[in-house]
Structure 1
């Protein structure tokens, strides 16, 4: 009993303390402006330095791109020259060449587009600007270099099937039609669409033949109309004479 009473007498009780700021919490988003004297000294002691990124292009701020450019070997590449020669051959042998801007497109969609163009005997290809420059520099096709700014795709067709090309293009919104070369003539997108409305040679020949046949038929009918009218009148007169007898 003595031990229990002694513990109860010497035990200390710690009070519960809760800290609270006077006048509520601090407004961090819109703090109150400092006193004029304090604001003056803060403005005087504010550090001032020229930013090292001033007047620099975004590509100059990317260290990885600069390092890659410095490490790039600009020497002659025989394999690239072979590809450039093949590319120039595609330009000279194709009756229809179409240029696309390529928006983000996964490999599966690209393969589907390649298959659809391949079924129509069209070649869906992608080349770099340096390879294209090696192929068309100093040739009549040099103007196409202005289209190769970012990601581009090119379609080569031995036959000028503009309608088939436009039908396939409508299935892939990632392919933005820019321009094309039709029968050696450079054309814009609107001109290609206008040429697609013109029927092909077989349809034009059939329409011309139908027009000539209709004109010939009308001419024969006009030439025979007087004879036919005369014969019908004679037959009516003959019937009248037989009835009178």
Structure 2
């Protein structure tokens, strides 16, 4: 019975393992095709006529010259421009810097030091500033924005603190500034930083007035004081006699 149950032909299962012929295929430097195949591939390459054919050098140079880029209205840029105009109108001190390369840590330190003094450090593009300052008294400052620039706004005229922070970061080159609606260059800002504050000037003025009054009081009472001293001496002499 066991012989009848056993099939006459056994099925054989083969183990197939794919293998590349003659090593790996070099993708960067593929093997060149056969001469016949390469010949047909070269014949079948499409041929496109160049747009610069039969054109003079002047015409070729005028291709990029006459090309006009379409200006796209950016609502977010208009919001930034409106905010920048508000900074210009509300600030009593505005400083214009040329911004050289700084690391992220140095930028954060400079931003923190300006923020502690109540100043705002802003990077504004020239197109945004043109939208904000065209037709305003600040339009002349657009000449500063020719490369990488930075602007510092302050509601208080803290020129001395501004120059002190500027010494800490040589990458920030101070160009000029606006102090109380008056444009000042770097030398004028340095001279202005040496001028004492209003409170100190008032105290010095009061001290000068008090000194003059005290000197005048001493001069007016000097004769009376000397006469009184002489009379007291004479009285002592008469008492001794």
TM-score (norm 1): 0.70
Match of 1:174 in 2: 171
Partner in structure 2 of residue 47 of structure 1? none
SS in 2 for 1:138: coil
**In structure 2, what is the equivalent of residue 153 of structure 1?**
150
Asked if 1:84 is matched to 2:87, the reply is: no
Segments of 5+ residues of structure 2 without an aligned counterpart are 1-56
Alignment of 1:1-245 (within 5 A): 73-244=70-241
Shift of 1:73: 4.7
C-alpha distance in structure 1 between counterparts of 2:108 and 2:71, whole Å? 32
Deviations 1:28-52 (A, max 9, x none): xxxxxxxxxxxxxxxxxxxxxxxxx
Using the TM superposition, name which of 210-219 and 93-102 deviates more.
210-219
Residue by residue, what CA displacement relative to the aligned partner does 1:167-217 show, whole Å, maximum 9, x if unpaired?
000000000000000000011011111111100001001101111111111
Deviation at 1:71, TM superposition (A): 9.6
Aligned length: 179
Structure 1 residue runs of 4 or more that deviate by more than 2 Å after TM superposition: 70-73
